[in-house]
Chains A and B, each alone.
Chain A
Amino acid sequence: MKRVGETTEVSGQSPNYLVAKFQDLVDWVVNSSRANSLWPMPFGTACCAIEFMATAASRFDFARFGMERQAFSPRQADVLICAGRLPFKLAPVIRRIYDQMPQPKWVISMGACASTGGIFDNYAMVQGIDTIVPVDVYVPGCPPRPEGLLYGILLLHKKIKGESLFDHVRRRDEQLLDEKGLRLPPETIDEISEPFGNSVHQFRSS
């Protein structure tokens, strides 16, 4: 039994109901616009870039998903697609490209090498670009087929459509480097750069 004066929270009757509905509507409009007009910034460094080009060309044609215009300037791009392995020499370059992209921005790491270093567990290669820039979608494969990249792009659409303009902490904060110039704590970088799979049979001293 309810006592007098006690209220019941029912979302349909909440005073925030209209506000929430309005926010949902705004989010739906904004997110749909963003998701369906992603301008990719291709950062192709290896064979994944060939598959990326196949995805862009007429047979697979990611223009169907609003990616008609490839932005070869980071200042007019929404999604950075790192297609291929990233050597340490290119690490400051991709970081600068990422920094130059306007908010909101997303990153797709395409292929095994961009995501983890792949077969290149050696002195010259970044072990996963997530040690350099924040990554939204990892597309596995060596290289991924165009269908794989398209699936990754559709996953990114889904992710964008789940974002909210009214919840800034979730995604869109600037991802700055710390005073050491790193994105993550050093221990974390060491941990995610650990060898795995076949490369555990190599030794640092060998």
Chain B
Amino acid sequence: MTSPVPGALRTEVARDGETIVFVAPERLLETMKWLKETPGQEFDYLVDVTAVEFRDRERPLQVVYFLRSLTRKADVRVKVELNASAELAVDSVYSLWHGADWLEREVFDMFGITFRGHPDLRRILMWETYAEGYPLRKNFPLRGRFSRAEQVRQALNANPEAHYSMEELSIADAGGDLPEDMRERLRRGERGTIPEPPGA
């Protein structure tokens, strides 16, 4: 089935009646720009960004974008398929929807998919020195890779105050209230030490 959407590989209709557009990774940004800015499309609201990895190891990972047009009251899903054997990277849509900031950070945190051009791609749910991998990947063991004692040790040694970037602290001048040494550490980009892996 051919589609008028530029860069679309194929389209499907989901069980709930929504249209799913599959896009080649290298043309994602172009497609998204077209969907957002073309009159008659106007998908001005990025609802969610998430990813799927299937139990079947042969199937590629999918990055899923949920778009909504608030004026037209219409929805569309855009999917990008990424081969797990290749580099897991896709262009960031932050330049189109700033709301993609934390959504892409979450996908990065949970799946390890890199978003090129994202302004601040850090872990968002797990702490930044988390060294066990990407929890929602199928090859990630449910209880984590390290022993419980090692997990407790790393958690207790994490610095709970180092989770903010200088940019976040600059909002409402929160950085001005910090002690000088902490401001210095944040300026250097230091967010606690990465713990030694067990047995090292």
Residues on A lying within 8 angstroms of B by beta carbon are: 88-89, 91-93, 95-96, 121-124, 126-127, 131-132, 177, 180-182, 186-187, 189-190, 193, 195, 202-206
Contact of A88 among B142, B151, B159 (CB under 8 A): B151
**Ranked 6 nearest A-B pairs via Cβ:** A186-B149, A123-B144, A193-B148, A88-B155, A91-B155, A189-B149
A126 to B153, CA, bound (A): 11
- In the assembled complex, the CB of A1 is this many whole angstroms from the nearest CB of chain B, namely 62
Contacts of A193 in B (CB 8 A): 148-149
Contact call B142/A126, Cβ cutoff below 8 A: no
**How many CB-defined contacts (below 8 Å) exist between A and B?**
80
Contact call B160/A190, Cβ cutoff below 8 A: no
Contact call B149/A204, Cβ cutoff below 8 A: no
| Residue-wise interface mask of B (116-141) relative to A, using a CB-CB cutoff of 8 A (1 in contact, 0 not) | 00000000011100001001000011
| Residue-wise interface mask of B (7-28) relative to A, using a CB-CB cutoff of 8 A (1 in contact, 0 not) | 0000000000000000000000
Contacts of A180 in B (CB 8 A): 153
- In the assembled complex, the CB of A186 is this many whole angstroms from the nearest CB of chain B, namely 3
- In the assembled complex, the CB of A89 is this many whole angstroms from the nearest CB of chain B, namely 5
Contact call B147/A186, Cβ cutoff below 8 A: yes
Contact call A190/B149, Cβ cutoff below 8 A: yes
Q: B178 an interface residue at 8 Å Cβ cutoff?
A: no
- In the assembled complex, the CB of A127 is this many whole angstroms from the nearest CB of chain B, namely 6
Q: B150 an interface residue at 8 Å Cβ cutoff?
A: yes
Task: Identify 20 residue pairs between A and B in the complex whose beta-carbon atoms are under 8 Å apart, listed by A's number.
Answer: A89-B126, A89-B127, A92-B155, A92-B156, A92-B157, A92-B159, A96-B160, A122-B142, A122-B144, A123-B141, A123-B142, A126-B152, A127-B148, A131-B152, A132-B152, A186-B149, A189-B149, A202-B142, A203-B142, A206-B141
Q: B188 an interface residue at 8 Å Cβ cutoff?
A: no
Closest to A96 in B: B160
A60 to B152, CA, bound (A): 36
A126 to B147, CA, bound (A): 12
Q: B73 an interface residue at 8 Å Cβ cutoff?
A: no
